[in-house]
Amino acid sequence: MTIIIKPSQLEESAKVGIKFRHAIHQHPEIGLYLPKTQEQIVNALNSFGLEDVHTFVGGDNVTGVVAVIRGNKPGRTIGLRADADALPLVEKTSVPWISQDKGRMHACGHDGHVGTLLALCHYISKHRDFAGTLVAIFQPGEEGFAGARFMLEDGLVEKFGIEEFYALHSDTTVPLGHVAFVHGYATANADVFKIIFKGKGGHGSRPQMARDPLVAACECVLALQSIVSRSVDPQKAAVVSVGCVNQETKTVLVSFRNNPLL
């Protein structure tokens, strides 16, 4: 039997999720070790009366949190995942729950992801009339720190018997109150690598006596743009972005993203 939950039934849980989202937003943390965020999440889960809560899933320095909620009927074990880390950005908003830690901000919406999953945990903890088991996963280190890999290598799937994973991502291009679905791949996988140019310094008036790595780096930036246009099947999607050029170290930071349906 399919259980349909109406928005009106989630109002109380939504308010709880919003409360914790604001609290997490005020104290953003970066990377794999998010002690304040982990504490907020665990406190929320405990306040819901949940007892099967696990911390540091992923290792001693990886603050992955997992909560297990079992339904009243046998069924599949489903993992729902929310990432919890922030970005190294200065927040320039005027919201009452603005970041209290300068240089850190939940700019990618992970506080909203955590709030959404906490809201669901709050509701499910009071309505166990479903078949199967919900495994709520709060993952640190999504922003380039391979948090998912650490949790998987720590036996996430085996320990909790997860059969399927689901996740969501906030998207400002989707109208408020709507949920968007994409057939196949929805977002791109990213690989980041550095290209270092080594040269020989000299005076600008005598370029023939120097080997200018800056010119070589600029040529490289332009050439990288031809990867997508000349080396990728036009039927597929790919993005190559040069995110940073550091003149002191002559380094170009490149992000390569590719999947069949971007």
pLDDT of res. 69: 97
Helices (H), 93-143: 110-126
Residue-wise pLDDT tens for the chain (262 aa)?
Answer: 677 888 899 999 999 999 999 999 999 999 999 999 999 999 999 999 999 999 999 999 999 999 999 999 999 999 999 999 999 999 999 999 999 999 999 999 999 999 999 999 999 999 999 999 999 999 999 998 999 999 999 999 999 999 999 998 888 888 988 888 877 777 777 777 788 888 888 888 988 888 888 888 889 989 998 998 999 898 888 888 887 887 665 565 665 555 443 3
Is 39 strand, coil or helix? helix
Q: How close are the terminal C-alpha atoms of the chain, in Å?
A: 35
Whole-prediction pTM value? 0.82
Which candidate in 12, 39, 52, 83 is catalytic?
83
Please give the full DSSP string across 150-203, using - where no structure is assigned: HHHHTTHHHHHT--EEEE----TTSPTT-----SS--S-EEEEEEEE---B---
CATH number for the segment(s) 7-167: 3.40.630.10
- What does the domain layout of the chain look like in residue ranges? 7-167, 189-259
User: Is 163 in the active site?
Assistant: no
User: Is 52 in the active site?
Assistant: no
Which candidate in 143, 154, 163, 212 is catalytic?
143
pLDDT of res. 260: 42
Pick the CATH number of 189-259 from 3.40.50.150, 3.30.70.360, 3.40.228.10, 3.50.50.60: 3.30.70.360
Report yes or no: 237 and 182 within 8 Å, Cβ to Cβ: no
Task: Return the structure tokens found at 203.
Answer: 């005076």
177, 115, 134, 73 alpha-carbon torsion, rounded to 10°: -70
How far apart (Å, rounded) are the C-alpha atoms in residues 43 and 186? 33
CA 35 to chain centre: 17
Task: Return the structure tokens found at 155.
Answer: 């036996």
**What backbone phi and psi angles, to 5 degrees, belong to 13?**
-65, -35
Decide if 7-167 and 189-259 have a common fold: no
68 has which bridge partners?
Answer: 135
258 has which bridge partners?
Answer: 189, 238
How far apart (Å, rounded) are the C-alpha atoms in residues 147 and 65? 11
pLDDT of res. 200: 87
Task: Return the structure tokens found at 56.
Answer: 């540091």
